[in-house]
Amino acid sequence: MLYFYAKRREMKQLFLVLCFLSLSCKEKRYHDQEQNNTEEHVSGALEDIMQFQKKMNEEFKDPETSPLPDRFRKDFTTLDFFEPDTSYRINAKFTRTPEALPFMMPTTTERQSEEVVFGIITFSLKGRTHKLEVYQNQELMQQEKYRDYLFLPFADLTNGEETYGGGRYLDLTIPKGDTILLDFNKAYNPYCAYNPKYSCPLVPKQNRLDIEIAAGGKAFKKG
């Protein structure tokens, strides 16, 4: 009787161990799948960033699309970028501002650009909350291909050191909902950073961030 009791006890313990191992395996498979999904997401984001950089370099090499003067373009190989960093790729809150009125944004020349504040972007970065205005150009919006285009000029603490002193730009698309993907890895310099013949909108004071954005395009080194 004790034998059978002991065997039954051993069988019960073995059953519990097997159950525990089974659950552990299931949990690990679930964890591995989640990890794989995360890795695929990061990999896709990095590929997207690299494609952006490749396209920028192709445009700067092409005499039809390059802002570079010929003396710089003929020896051009690549723009300088920060290393891709997905921590600067943020799903931000997007708040539309339908009551905003058009205004004239100053540029690096006497020209002014007619813009309207289309919305406010709110995001968290480096443990703090930040807000940026995003604009819609009143002239460009008349063209079909730019109907959904939004313009985000911004400045940060890297300006004048690692990046262009006048700030940088981001091109965005009007989102369908109340969130928008903000990827600072795709920040680029105004064309006037390469050639003074261009007229570039100045970054409004409300879009000056008091943090470093170590992502996207770096300052252009001439010669």
Q: How many domains does the chain have?
A: 2
The alpha-carbon radius of gyration of the chain (Å, integer) is 26
What pLDDT shows up at residue 209? Answer: 98
Is residue 115 in some structural domain?
yes
pLDDT digits (tens, 9 = 90+) for 48-86: 999 999 999 999 999 999 999 999 999 999 999 999 999
Residues 120 and 41 in one domain: no
What pLDDT shows up at residue 43? Answer: 83
User: Higher pLDDT residue, 2 or 148?
Assistant: 148
Helix (H) or strand (E) holding 134: strand 128-137
Tokens of 156: 């940060």
Pairing of strands 112-125, 168-173: unpaired
Tokens of 44: 């896709």
pLDDT digits (tens, 9 = 90+) for 85-122: 999 999 999 999 999 999 999 999 999 999 999 999 99
Burial 39-74 (b: 16+ CB within 10 A, else e): eeeeeebeebbeebbeebeeebeeeeebbbeeebbe
Is residue 101 in some structural domain?
yes
What pLDDT shows up at residue 40? Answer: 63
Residues 87 and 63 in one domain: no
Residues 4 and 109 in one domain: no
Residues 73 and 23 in one domain: yes
Domain endpoint, select from 48, 79, 110: 79
Long-range CB pairs of 1-8 (<8 Å, 24+ gap) are: none
pLDDT digits (tens, 9 = 90+) for 159-209: 999 999 999 999 999 999 999 999 999 999 999 999 999 999 999 999 999
Q: Which residues span the domain enclosing 105?
A: 80-207
Task: Tell which residue, 195, 199, 173, 200, has the closest CA to residue 186.
Answer: 173
Residues 58 and 163 in one domain: no
User: Residue 122 to residues 111, 182, 213: CA-CA distances in angstroms?
Assistant: 30, 10, 16
The number of angstroms, rounded, from the C-alpha of 46 to the middle of its chain's C-alpha atoms is 11
What pLDDT shows up at residue 39? Answer: 65
Domain endpoint, select from 79, 98, 127: 79
Is residue 220 in some structural domain?
no
Spatial contact of 155 and 209, defined as CB atoms under 8 Å apart:
yes
On the question of pLDDT at 6 being above 50, the answer is: no
CA distance 182 to 130: 12
pLDDT confidence of 24, banded at 50, 70, 90? very low
CA distance 154 to 87: 18
Mean pLDDT of the chain: 86
Is residue 214 in some structural domain?
no
CA distance 186 to 82: 10
Q: Is the pTM of this model over 0.85?
A: no
What pLDDT shows up at residue 33? Answer: 46
- Report CA torsion sign: 35, 41, 47, 53: negative
Nearest-5° Cα angle at 197, 193 to 200: 55
pLDDT confidence of 1, banded at 50, 70, 90? very low
What pLDDT shows up at residue 222? Answer: 73
User: Residue 200 to residues 128, 173, 178, 189, 196: CA-CA distances in angstroms?
Assistant: 29, 20, 29, 10, 9
- Please give the average per-residue pLDDT across 13-25, as a whole number: 42
- Please give the average per-residue pLDDT across 123-144, as a whole number: 96
On the question of pLDDT at 8 being above 60, the answer is: no
